[in-house]
Amino acid sequence: MKLVTITLLLFVHTADLTSSNCDGVKDQVVFCAADSSLKIEAPDTGYAWHFGTANVAVDSALTADPTSKKLTGTLAAKHTGVYLATKDGSPTGKFTIIVDAVTCTKNEECQVGTGSSILLNSELGNGADSWSLTKGDSSVETLGDDPPKFTAEKKELGLFNVQKTQSGTYKATKSADNAEFPVTVSDKTPVSVASVKKGVGCVATLECEVTGDAKTIEWTKDGAKLTSKGKTLTVDDKSAPYACEVQGYHGGAAVTSASFPYTYAAPEAVSKVTIERTASVLTCTADGPVKTWAWLTFGNVPVTASDGTVDRDPSKFNLASGAKGEFSCKVTDCQDNTKSSQFLRVGGKVDPTGTPTGAGGTTTPGAATQGTSCSVALLVISVLIELYVVMMM
Protein backbone atom coordinates (compact mmCIF):
# COMPACT_ATOMS: atom_id res chain seq x y z
CA MET A 1 0.00 0.00 0.00
CA LYS A 2 2.83 2.41 0.86
CA LEU A 3 4.58 1.60 -2.42
CA VAL A 4 1.42 2.43 -4.37
CA THR A 5 1.04 5.72 -2.48
CA ILE A 6 4.64 6.72 -3.14
CA THR A 7 4.29 5.81 -6.81
CA LEU A 8 1.14 7.92 -7.12
CA LEU A 9 2.78 10.87 -5.40
CA LEU A 10 5.77 10.68 -7.73
CA PHE A 11 3.42 10.53 -10.71
CA VAL A 12 1.51 13.59 -9.57
CA HIS A 13 4.71 15.55 -8.84
CA THR A 14 6.16 14.66 -12.24
CA ALA A 15 2.95 15.75 -13.91
CA ASP A 16 3.22 19.14 -12.16
CA LEU A 17 6.80 19.62 -13.33
CA THR A 18 5.98 18.86 -16.95
CA SER A 19 2.68 20.76 -17.02
CA SER A 20 2.31 23.01 -20.06
CA ASN A 21 -0.81 24.80 -18.83
CA CYS A 22 -0.95 28.58 -18.72
CA ASP A 23 -3.77 29.92 -16.56
CA GLY A 24 -4.58 33.60 -16.73
CA VAL A 25 -4.95 35.57 -13.48
CA LYS A 26 -7.20 38.62 -13.29
CA ASP A 27 -5.33 41.95 -13.04
CA GLN A 28 -1.95 40.20 -13.15
CA VAL A 29 0.65 39.21 -15.73
CA VAL A 30 1.32 35.53 -16.43
CA PHE A 31 4.41 34.30 -18.30
CA CYS A 32 3.89 31.36 -20.64
CA ALA A 33 5.92 29.26 -23.06
CA ALA A 34 5.04 28.85 -26.70
CA ASP A 35 2.83 25.81 -27.39
CA SER A 36 1.47 25.85 -23.83
CA SER A 37 -2.29 25.61 -23.27
CA LEU A 38 -4.06 28.83 -22.37
CA LYS A 39 -6.97 28.86 -19.95
CA ILE A 40 -8.68 32.03 -18.74
CA GLU A 41 -11.86 31.81 -16.68
CA ALA A 42 -14.45 34.51 -17.36
CA PRO A 43 -15.77 36.33 -14.27
CA ASP A 44 -19.29 35.06 -15.00
CA THR A 45 -21.59 34.06 -17.84
CA GLY A 46 -22.65 36.65 -20.35
CA TYR A 47 -19.13 37.93 -21.00
CA ALA A 48 -17.29 38.30 -24.32
CA TRP A 49 -13.53 38.20 -24.92
CA HIS A 50 -11.47 40.91 -26.63
CA PHE A 51 -7.77 41.47 -27.22
CA GLY A 52 -6.03 44.74 -26.37
CA THR A 53 -9.13 46.93 -26.67
CA ALA A 54 -12.84 46.32 -26.23
CA ASN A 55 -13.49 46.27 -29.98
CA VAL A 56 -10.78 43.82 -31.16
CA ALA A 57 -11.64 40.12 -31.26
CA VAL A 58 -9.22 37.47 -29.98
CA ASP A 59 -7.21 35.39 -32.43
CA SER A 60 -9.18 32.65 -34.18
CA ALA A 61 -6.76 30.04 -32.79
CA LEU A 62 -8.23 30.70 -29.33
CA THR A 63 -11.74 29.53 -28.44
CA ALA A 64 -14.29 30.82 -25.95
CA ASP A 65 -16.65 28.15 -24.59
CA PRO A 66 -20.20 29.24 -25.52
CA THR A 67 -21.55 28.37 -22.08
CA SER A 68 -18.79 28.95 -19.51
CA LYS A 69 -17.01 31.58 -21.64
CA LYS A 70 -13.68 29.99 -20.66
CA LEU A 71 -10.99 31.07 -23.15
CA THR A 72 -8.65 28.28 -24.27
CA GLY A 73 -6.16 27.47 -27.02
CA THR A 74 -2.51 26.79 -27.86
CA LEU A 75 -0.28 29.82 -27.37
CA ALA A 76 2.20 31.41 -29.77
CA ALA A 77 4.22 34.62 -29.50
CA LYS A 78 1.52 36.52 -31.42
CA HIS A 79 -0.90 35.86 -28.53
CA THR A 80 1.09 38.10 -26.18
CA GLY A 81 -1.06 40.95 -24.86
CA VAL A 82 -3.96 41.95 -22.63
CA TYR A 83 -7.19 39.92 -22.75
CA LEU A 84 -10.36 41.74 -21.75
CA ALA A 85 -13.46 40.09 -20.37
CA THR A 86 -16.18 42.52 -21.45
CA LYS A 87 -19.84 42.86 -20.66
CA ASP A 88 -22.12 45.38 -22.32
CA GLY A 89 -19.06 46.67 -24.18
CA SER A 90 -17.08 47.51 -21.03
CA PRO A 91 -14.05 45.54 -19.77
CA THR A 92 -14.46 44.24 -16.23
CA GLY A 93 -11.56 41.79 -16.17
CA LYS A 94 -8.01 42.19 -17.51
CA PHE A 95 -5.50 39.36 -17.98
CA THR A 96 -1.97 39.93 -19.36
CA ILE A 97 -0.42 36.92 -21.09
CA ILE A 98 3.24 37.13 -22.20
CA VAL A 99 4.62 34.30 -24.34
CA ASP A 100 8.37 33.54 -24.42
CA ALA A 101 9.57 36.66 -22.56
CA VAL A 102 13.29 37.46 -22.39
CA THR A 103 14.39 37.07 -18.75
CA CYS A 104 16.61 39.94 -17.61
CA THR A 105 19.07 39.44 -14.75
CA LYS A 106 19.65 41.90 -11.92
CA ASN A 107 22.62 44.26 -12.34
CA GLU A 108 23.45 42.88 -15.81
CA GLU A 109 22.89 44.69 -19.10
CA CYS A 110 19.80 43.26 -20.79
CA GLN A 111 19.71 44.00 -24.53
CA VAL A 112 16.48 43.37 -26.40
CA GLY A 113 15.03 44.41 -29.72
CA THR A 114 12.02 46.61 -30.26
CA GLY A 115 8.83 44.61 -29.98
CA SER A 116 10.32 42.19 -27.44
CA SER A 117 8.78 40.99 -24.19
CA ILE A 118 10.78 41.06 -20.94
CA LEU A 119 10.51 39.49 -17.48
CA LEU A 120 12.12 41.13 -14.44
CA ASN A 121 12.08 39.13 -11.19
CA SER A 122 12.80 41.33 -8.15
CA GLU A 123 13.40 38.34 -5.84
CA LEU A 124 12.44 40.65 -2.97
CA GLY A 125 10.86 38.53 -0.25
CA ASN A 126 7.09 38.79 -0.61
CA GLY A 127 7.42 41.23 -3.49
CA ALA A 128 8.15 44.90 -4.14
CA ASP A 129 6.31 47.95 -2.84
CA SER A 130 6.92 49.83 -6.09
CA TRP A 131 8.68 49.76 -9.46
CA SER A 132 10.22 52.69 -11.32
CA LEU A 133 12.13 53.40 -14.54
CA THR A 134 15.08 55.84 -14.65
CA LYS A 135 15.71 56.88 -18.27
CA GLY A 136 18.86 58.17 -19.93
CA ASP A 137 17.88 61.80 -19.31
CA SER A 138 17.68 61.01 -15.55
CA SER A 139 13.90 61.36 -15.55
CA VAL A 140 12.12 58.86 -13.30
CA GLU A 141 8.83 57.23 -14.23
CA THR A 142 6.73 55.39 -11.65
CA LEU A 143 5.25 52.25 -13.18
CA GLY A 144 1.52 51.93 -12.61
CA ASP A 145 -0.63 48.83 -12.59
CA ASP A 146 -2.62 49.36 -15.81
CA PRO A 147 -2.49 47.37 -18.01
CA PRO A 148 -1.62 44.50 -15.62
CA LYS A 149 2.21 44.49 -15.45
CA PHE A 150 2.93 42.55 -12.26
CA THR A 151 2.57 39.15 -10.68
CA ALA A 152 1.21 38.89 -7.13
CA GLU A 153 2.62 41.50 -4.71
CA LYS A 154 4.59 43.07 -7.58
CA LYS A 155 7.33 40.49 -7.30
CA GLU A 156 7.78 40.23 -11.07
CA LEU A 157 7.37 42.87 -13.77
CA GLY A 158 6.36 41.90 -17.30
CA LEU A 159 6.38 44.20 -20.35
CA PHE A 160 5.61 43.40 -23.98
CA ASN A 161 6.14 45.17 -27.31
CA VAL A 162 8.83 47.32 -25.69
CA GLN A 163 10.18 50.34 -27.59
CA LYS A 164 13.45 52.32 -27.46
CA THR A 165 11.80 54.91 -25.16
CA GLN A 166 11.47 52.16 -22.55
CA SER A 167 15.25 51.81 -22.23
CA GLY A 168 16.73 52.60 -18.83
CA THR A 169 17.18 51.15 -15.36
CA TYR A 170 14.16 49.42 -13.85
CA LYS A 171 14.15 49.42 -10.06
CA ALA A 172 12.07 47.37 -7.63
CA THR A 173 11.95 48.79 -4.12
CA LYS A 174 10.84 47.28 -0.81
CA SER A 175 11.75 49.20 2.35
CA ALA A 176 15.56 49.43 2.35
CA ASP A 177 16.01 46.71 -0.28
CA ASN A 178 15.96 47.16 -4.04
CA ALA A 179 16.79 45.38 -7.27
CA GLU A 180 17.95 47.10 -10.46
CA PHE A 181 17.74 45.94 -14.08
CA PRO A 182 19.54 47.98 -16.80
CA VAL A 183 17.60 47.39 -20.02
CA THR A 184 18.52 48.60 -23.51
CA VAL A 185 15.93 48.39 -26.27
CA SER A 186 17.39 48.74 -29.78
CA ASP A 187 16.30 48.31 -33.37
CA LYS A 188 17.24 44.67 -33.78
CA THR A 189 15.92 42.48 -36.60
CA PRO A 190 14.45 39.12 -35.57
CA VAL A 191 16.50 36.07 -36.59
CA SER A 192 14.82 34.13 -39.39
CA VAL A 193 17.49 31.92 -41.00
CA ALA A 194 20.80 30.37 -39.92
CA SER A 195 23.20 28.36 -42.08
CA VAL A 196 26.75 27.00 -41.82
CA LYS A 197 29.54 27.39 -44.35
CA LYS A 198 33.19 26.40 -44.40
CA GLY A 199 35.57 29.21 -43.48
CA VAL A 200 38.64 30.28 -45.44
CA GLY A 201 42.23 30.49 -44.23
CA CYS A 202 44.92 28.19 -42.91
CA VAL A 203 43.00 27.33 -39.74
CA ALA A 204 40.01 25.05 -40.30
CA THR A 205 36.87 27.00 -39.34
CA LEU A 206 33.12 27.02 -39.83
CA GLU A 207 31.02 30.18 -40.01
CA CYS A 208 27.40 30.65 -38.97
CA GLU A 209 25.59 32.96 -41.38
CA VAL A 210 22.51 34.61 -39.89
CA THR A 211 19.63 36.55 -41.38
CA GLY A 212 18.75 39.05 -38.63
CA ASP A 213 20.55 40.22 -35.49
CA ALA A 214 22.02 37.45 -33.36
CA LYS A 215 22.34 37.86 -29.61
CA THR A 216 24.13 34.54 -29.03
CA ILE A 217 25.41 31.77 -31.30
CA GLU A 218 26.11 28.27 -29.99
CA TRP A 219 27.37 25.17 -31.79
CA THR A 220 26.68 21.44 -31.82
CA LYS A 221 28.90 18.66 -33.14
CA ASP A 222 27.17 15.44 -34.09
CA GLY A 223 24.20 16.61 -32.00
CA ALA A 224 26.23 17.33 -28.83
CA LYS A 225 26.50 20.95 -27.63
CA LEU A 226 29.98 22.52 -27.66
CA THR A 227 31.34 25.05 -25.19
CA SER A 228 32.58 27.33 -27.99
CA LYS A 229 30.31 30.25 -28.87
CA GLY A 230 30.30 32.93 -31.53
CA LYS A 231 29.94 33.30 -35.28
CA THR A 232 33.18 31.41 -36.10
CA LEU A 233 34.05 27.94 -34.83
CA THR A 234 37.54 26.46 -35.05
CA VAL A 235 37.33 22.75 -35.85
CA ASP A 236 39.80 19.89 -35.69
CA ASP A 237 40.81 17.41 -38.38
CA LYS A 238 37.91 15.08 -37.59
CA SER A 239 35.03 15.02 -40.06
CA ALA A 240 31.61 15.40 -38.41
CA PRO A 241 28.22 17.12 -38.83
CA TYR A 242 27.97 20.58 -37.25
CA ALA A 243 25.10 23.00 -36.68
CA CYS A 244 24.74 26.47 -35.14
CA GLU A 245 21.92 27.62 -32.87
CA VAL A 246 21.11 31.34 -32.92
CA GLN A 247 19.20 33.26 -30.27
CA GLY A 248 17.88 36.67 -31.29
CA TYR A 249 16.96 39.70 -29.21
CA HIS A 250 13.21 39.07 -29.37
CA GLY A 251 13.10 35.93 -27.25
CA GLY A 252 11.41 32.78 -28.49
CA ALA A 253 13.03 29.54 -29.51
CA ALA A 254 16.52 29.54 -31.01
CA VAL A 255 16.84 29.24 -34.78
CA THR A 256 18.92 26.18 -35.69
CA SER A 257 20.77 25.71 -38.96
CA ALA A 258 20.65 22.58 -41.04
CA SER A 259 23.37 20.06 -40.20
CA PHE A 260 26.60 20.82 -42.10
CA PRO A 261 28.62 17.69 -43.07
CA TYR A 262 32.14 18.99 -42.46
CA THR A 263 34.90 16.99 -44.14
CA TYR A 264 38.49 17.79 -43.23
CA ALA A 265 40.93 18.52 -46.04
CA ALA A 266 44.49 19.85 -45.76
CA PRO A 267 44.84 23.38 -47.22
CA GLU A 268 46.15 23.47 -50.78
CA ALA A 269 49.08 25.61 -51.93
CA VAL A 270 48.36 28.89 -53.73
CA SER A 271 49.24 28.73 -57.43
CA LYS A 272 47.63 31.90 -58.79
CA VAL A 273 47.20 35.43 -57.44
CA THR A 274 45.32 38.18 -59.27
CA ILE A 275 44.60 41.82 -58.54
CA GLU A 276 41.64 43.92 -59.72
CA ARG A 277 40.53 47.50 -59.23
CA THR A 278 37.02 48.75 -58.42
CA ALA A 279 36.90 52.54 -58.03
CA SER A 280 39.60 53.33 -55.44
CA VAL A 281 39.84 49.79 -54.03
CA LEU A 282 42.33 47.14 -55.15
CA THR A 283 41.30 43.54 -54.42
CA CYS A 284 43.72 40.62 -54.28
CA THR A 285 42.40 37.12 -54.97
CA ALA A 286 44.21 33.80 -54.46
CA ASP A 287 43.15 30.31 -55.55
CA GLY A 288 43.86 28.83 -52.11
CA PRO A 289 43.87 29.73 -48.41
CA VAL A 290 46.19 32.58 -47.43
CA LYS A 291 48.15 33.08 -44.21
CA THR A 292 49.34 36.67 -44.81
CA TRP A 293 48.88 39.45 -47.38
CA ALA A 294 51.37 42.18 -48.38
CA TRP A 295 50.90 45.17 -50.73
CA LEU A 296 53.85 46.40 -52.83
CA THR A 297 54.70 49.12 -55.32
CA PHE A 298 57.09 48.90 -58.31
CA GLY A 299 60.38 47.28 -57.32
CA ASN A 300 58.64 45.21 -54.61
CA VAL A 301 58.72 48.18 -52.24
CA PRO A 302 56.08 48.12 -49.46
CA VAL A 303 53.28 50.66 -49.88
CA THR A 304 53.27 53.84 -47.82
CA ALA A 305 50.58 56.18 -46.54
CA SER A 306 50.93 58.30 -49.68
CA ASP A 307 49.88 55.27 -51.72
CA GLY A 308 46.87 54.37 -49.55
CA THR A 309 45.82 52.15 -46.65
CA VAL A 310 45.24 48.44 -46.17
CA ASP A 311 41.57 47.68 -45.50
CA ARG A 312 40.33 45.79 -42.41
CA ASP A 313 40.17 42.94 -44.89
CA PRO A 314 43.90 42.65 -45.74
CA SER A 315 43.09 41.40 -49.24
CA LYS A 316 41.87 44.92 -50.09
CA PHE A 317 43.90 48.12 -50.51
CA ASN A 318 42.29 51.59 -50.46
CA LEU A 319 44.12 53.92 -52.82
CA ALA A 320 44.95 57.42 -51.62
CA SER A 321 43.59 60.34 -53.60
CA GLY A 322 45.89 60.95 -56.57
CA ALA A 323 47.89 57.75 -56.01
CA LYS A 324 49.98 56.79 -59.06
CA GLY A 325 52.30 53.93 -59.87
CA GLU A 326 52.18 50.16 -60.16
CA PHE A 327 50.81 47.95 -57.40
CA SER A 328 51.01 44.25 -56.62
CA CYS A 329 49.97 41.96 -53.78
CA LYS A 330 52.05 39.13 -52.37
CA VAL A 331 50.52 36.28 -50.38
CA THR A 332 51.96 33.60 -48.12
CA ASP A 333 50.03 30.34 -48.20
CA CYS A 334 49.59 27.71 -45.49
CA GLN A 335 52.84 25.96 -46.49
CA ASP A 336 54.73 29.30 -46.13
CA ASN A 337 55.18 29.57 -49.90
CA THR A 338 54.90 33.09 -51.38
CA LYS A 339 53.17 34.08 -54.61
CA SER A 340 52.67 37.53 -56.12
CA SER A 341 50.24 39.00 -58.57
CA GLN A 342 51.26 40.92 -61.68
CA PHE A 343 51.62 44.69 -61.24
CA LEU A 344 48.52 46.79 -61.84
CA ARG A 345 49.08 50.29 -63.23
CA VAL A 346 47.27 53.11 -61.44
CA GLY A 347 47.07 56.81 -62.39
CA GLY A 348 48.10 56.75 -66.04
CA LYS A 349 51.46 55.77 -67.57
CA VAL A 350 54.70 55.11 -65.75
CA ASP A 351 58.21 55.38 -67.16
CA PRO A 352 60.50 52.30 -67.31
CA THR A 353 61.86 53.01 -63.82
CA GLY A 354 58.34 52.92 -62.34
CA THR A 355 58.24 56.70 -61.73
CA PRO A 356 54.65 57.98 -61.82
CA THR A 357 53.77 60.25 -64.76
CA GLY A 358 51.88 63.52 -64.56
CA ALA A 359 48.84 64.70 -66.50
CA GLY A 360 49.09 64.13 -70.25
CA GLY A 361 51.60 61.33 -69.80
CA THR A 362 54.64 63.51 -69.12
CA THR A 363 57.07 62.35 -66.50
CA THR A 364 56.71 64.21 -63.23
CA PRO A 365 60.05 66.08 -62.82
CA GLY A 366 62.26 65.18 -59.93
CA ALA A 367 65.86 65.80 -58.95
CA ALA A 368 67.01 62.85 -61.05
CA THR A 369 64.82 63.45 -64.10
CA GLN A 370 65.44 67.20 -64.41
CA GLY A 371 69.11 66.70 -65.35
CA THR A 372 68.26 64.02 -67.91
CA SER A 373 65.58 66.25 -69.44
CA CYS A 374 68.04 69.15 -69.80
CA SER A 375 70.62 66.92 -71.52
CA VAL A 376 68.05 65.63 -73.97
CA ALA A 377 66.87 69.19 -74.69
CA LEU A 378 70.45 70.40 -75.39
CA LEU A 379 71.05 67.44 -77.69
CA VAL A 380 67.89 68.20 -79.67
CA ILE A 381 68.85 71.89 -79.98
CA SER A 382 72.35 70.93 -81.16
CA VAL A 383 70.95 68.65 -83.87
CA LEU A 384 68.56 71.37 -85.08
CA ILE A 385 71.40 73.90 -85.32
CA GLU A 386 73.49 71.49 -87.40
CA LEU A 387 70.59 70.87 -89.77
CA TYR A 388 70.06 74.61 -90.14
CA VAL A 389 73.75 75.17 -91.01
CA VAL A 390 73.67 72.37 -93.66
CA MET A 391 70.56 73.83 -95.28
CA MET A 392 72.15 77.31 -95.53
CA MET A 393 75.22 76.05 -97.37
In a domain, 306, yes or no: yes
Q: Which of 244-253, 262-271, 286-295, 377-386 has the lowest mean pLDDT?
A: 377-386
Asked if 111 and 176 sit in the same domain, the reply is: yes
Residue 366 lies in a domain: no
Alpha helices in the chain (DSSP H): 2-17, 367-392
Specify if 338 maps to a domain. yes
Q: Which residue among 65, 99, 133 closes a domain? A: 99
Check whether 385 has a pLDDT greater than 70. Answer: no
Residues 95 and 106 in one domain: no
Q: How confident is the model at residue 392 (pLDDT cuts 50, 70, 90)?
A: low
Average pLDDT of every residue of the chain:
84
- Does a structural domain hold residue 9? no
| pLDDT score for 321 | 92
Provide the domain count of the chain. 4
| Peptide bond just before 147 cis, omega within 30 deg | yes
- One domain, residues 83 and 117: no
Structural domain contains residue 392: no
- CATH of residue 337: 2.60.40.10
User: Are 335 and 280 part of one and the same domain?
Assistant: yes
Query: Both 197 and 258 in a single domain?
Result: yes
Let me know whether 206 and 217 are in one domain: yes
For the residues 361-381, what does the mean pLDDT come to? 41
* 110 domain-assigned: yes
The number of residues in the chain equals 393
Residue 153 lies in a domain: yes
Q: Which residues pair with 256 in a beta bridge?
A: 245
Residues 61 and 43 in one domain: yes
For residue 327, what are the β-bridge partners?
A: 297, 344
Residues 202 and 253 in one domain: yes
Residue 124 is assigned to a structural domain of this protein: yes
Average pLDDT over residues 243-268: 89
**217 and 249 together in one domain:** yes
Residue span of the structural domain in which 234 resides: 193-262
Q: What is the mean pLDDT of residues 104-131?
A: 93
pTM of the model: 0.56
* 155-174 mean pLDDT: 96
DSSP symbol at 79:
G
Task: Indicate the residue among 68, 99, 130 that finishes a domain.
Answer: 99
- For 174-190, b where at least 16 C-beta lie within 10 A, e where not — what string? beeebbebbbebeebeb
Beta bridge partners, 93, equal 85
